[in-house]
């Protein structure tokens, strides 16, 4: 006698891979590399979600996207509803679905990931956001205006998130942006092939539909100080970013065609230098481009150089592959595009030609020694290992410091020795009453999603403060 057994659901062990442009084709264009899931693929991947009751994935998300719920909606084919529920917590899902390091956040907590590959949460978020954008989504019903006004400094990920959340509470929000386009690092830093600018534009337009006002070409600290804003607004949030490029203290750093990564990427992304001369901002199209550093920005610069026609696009990094700060996926994409990696190599000087333009980088070879104070093996130079890498463009990508304009022009604002604004990480409060800060200006250069998380935290405490809500009541809002 046999008892009838319920068939066990088949477990799909691996993530459904996203189709991408061929490496050989994509190095000749600036179009996005991954194509994204179609409806069937998204529904299939959504079936892998175990619908855990305690949702560990959400605890890995700085903006607490209701991950299980939106994936369930995708599984049921309710794509618009999926996008809408994401947007209750995340104003920029098409952005985060593309640029978040999910492997370190939500996906790292996914229960599926303990034995198999985690659910492709990022890919699914991207799918829902793209679907809703293409179908045209409705604006949620907004609460009655509270009559409160908040000024936000900088239209980057932190400021935009803070603005979106405050607008959803019924407050009037005005963002002041120094550049001619909103988006911050999303428009000047991250390249088109990783984050198409039309998508950033769309998500910002959505915020404008929620009533957020954006004032461009306005420099807080120059046109008006934070103190002046405080006279007109109920609170000020500073999200002015880590905009000051670090350079290397080596001879030749100011030679012609030595760029900071910020400059190189701003020329190409914000000012569309890759379309020169139709667009009027030029960028040097090097035959051999050396990028110094191995973070995500360095990968962006090296891959950009390739698309601008470089025969050799070379990453020079003083540690080994293991220590690369860039996301695994970015390194992988770079390798597919034949970016050359010179690990355990560090520049000692940049050499110019008779016209003062870069001609080569002189480097030293390193070997790994004992762990240093960061716990990583310390690179030690090998004597006599000097060698030249011939190149006609150098891009320095060794990080950014906080933008100094607000710290310099705002009295009573506590600033750390690194130039960041000191904040309470749980509230975003600064030492100055009514002034909040978050994102790279408070933490130093970090990720888009970390900045968004900080914008969200600040929005919550600004809302509580201006509405006179006590901490104890917080659960009810």
**Binding positions for other proteins, rule: CB under 8 A:** 178-180, 188, 216-219, 222-224, 243-245, 247, 253-257, 259-260, 262-263, 266-267, 271-272, 276-282, 284, 355-357, 403-405
Distance CA 260, CA 445 (A): 15
Q: Which is nearer to other proteins, 129 or 214 (CB)?
A: 214
Give min distance, CB of 98 to other proteins, in A.
23
Give min distance, CB of 206 to other proteins, in A.
22
Q: Which is nearer to other proteins, 216 or 328 (CB)?
A: 216
Q: Which is nearer to other proteins, 250 or 464 (CB)?
A: 250
DSSP state of 360: E
Give min distance, CB of 197 to other proteins, in A.
12
What separation in angstroms does the CA of 389 have from each of 60, 135, 286, 301, 392? 42, 50, 14, 18, 10
Q: Give the long-range contacts of residues 200-209, CB within 8 A, separation 24 or more.
A: 200/92, 200/94, 200/95, 202/94, 202/133, 203/91, 203/92, 203/93, 203/94, 203/95, 203/129, 203/160, 204/155, 204/160, 206/91, 206/137, 206/139, 207/91, 207/160, 207/163, 207/164, 207/167, 209/139
Give min distance, CB of 298 to other proteins, in A.
16
Q: Which is nearer to other proteins, 156 or 453 (CB)?
A: 156
List the structure tokens of 278: 């139709």
Residue 94's contacts (CB-CB under 8 Å, 6 or more residues apart) are 126, 129, 130, 133, 199, 200, 202, 203
Give min distance, CB of 436 to other proteins, in A.
22
Q: Which is nearer to other proteins, 406 or 452 (CB)?
A: 406
Distance CA 135, CA 74 (A): 15
List the structure tokens of 15: 């993530």
Tokens 């803070």 label which residue?
Answer: 162
Query: Are the beta carbons of 226 and 413 closer than 8 angstroms?
Result: yes
Distance CA 344, CA 380 (A): 9
Give min distance, CB of 464 to other proteins, in A.
32
Q: Which is nearer to other proteins, 116 or 276 (CB)?
A: 276
Q: Which is nearer to other proteins, 253 or 348 (CB)?
A: 253
Give min distance, CB of 260 to other proteins, in A.
4
Give min distance, CB of 222 to other proteins, in A.
6
List the structure tokens of 277: 């001369």
Q: Which is nearer to other proteins, 149 or 272 (CB)?
A: 272
């Amino acid at each position: 006698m046999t008892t009838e057994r319920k068939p066990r659901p088949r477990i799909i062990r691996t993530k459904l891979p996203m189709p991408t442009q061929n490496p050989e084709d994509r190095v000749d264009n600036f179009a996005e590399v991954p194509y994204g899931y179609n409806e069937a693929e998204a529904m299939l991947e959504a079936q892998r979600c175990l619908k855990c009751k305690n949702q560990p994935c959400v605890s890995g998300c700085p903006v607490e996207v209701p991950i299980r719920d939106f994936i369930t909606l995708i599984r049921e084919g309710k794509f618009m509803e999926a996008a809408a529920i994401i947007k209750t917590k995340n104003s920029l899902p098409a952005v985060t679905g593309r640029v978040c390091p999910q492997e370190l956040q939500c996906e790292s907590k996914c229960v599926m990931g303990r034995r198999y590959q985690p659910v492709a949460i990022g890919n699914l978020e991207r799918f829902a956001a793209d679907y809703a954008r293409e179908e045209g989504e409705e604006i949620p019903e907004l609460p009655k205006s509270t009559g409160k006004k908040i000024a936000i400094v900088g239209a980057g990920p932190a400021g935009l998130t803070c603005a979106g959340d405050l607008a959803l509470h019924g407050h009037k929000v005005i963002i002041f942006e120094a550049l001619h386009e909103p988006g911050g690092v999303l428009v000047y830093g991250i390249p088109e092939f990783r984050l198409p600018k039309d998508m950033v534009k769309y998500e910002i337009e959505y915020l404008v539909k929620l009533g957020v006002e954006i004032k461009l070409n306005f420099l807080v600290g120059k046109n008006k100080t934070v103190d002046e804003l405080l006279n007109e607004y109920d609170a000020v949030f500073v999200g002015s970013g880590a905009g000051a490029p670090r350079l290397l203290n080596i001879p030749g750093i100011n030679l012609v065609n030595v760029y900071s990564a910020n400059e190189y990427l701003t020329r190409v992304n914000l000012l569309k230098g890759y379309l020169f001369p139709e667009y009027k901002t030029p960028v040097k199209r090097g035959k051999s481009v050396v990028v110094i550093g191995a973070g995500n920005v360095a990968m962006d610069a090296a891959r950009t150089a390739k698309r601008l026609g470089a025969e050799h696009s070379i990453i020079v990094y003083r540690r080994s592959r293991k220590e690369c700060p860039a996301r695994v996926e970015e390194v992988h994409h770079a390798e597919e595009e034949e970016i050359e990696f010179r690990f355990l190599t560090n520049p000692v000087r940049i050499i110019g030609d008779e016209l003062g333009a870069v001609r080569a980088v002189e480097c030293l070879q390193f070997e790994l020694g004992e762990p240093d104070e960061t716990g990583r093996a310390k690179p030690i130079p090998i004597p006599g290992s000097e060698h030249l890498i011939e190149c006609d463009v150098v891009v320095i990508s060794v990080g950014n410091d906080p933008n100094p304009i607000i710290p310099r022009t705002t009295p009573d604002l506590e600033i750390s020795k690194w130039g960041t604004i000191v904040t309470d990480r749980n509230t975003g409060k600064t030492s100055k009453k009514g002034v909040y800060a978050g994102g790279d200006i408070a933490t130093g250069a970090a990720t888009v999603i970390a900045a968004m998380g900080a914008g969200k935290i600040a929005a919550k405490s600004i809302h509580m403060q201006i509405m006179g809500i006590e901490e104890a009541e917080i659960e009810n809002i």
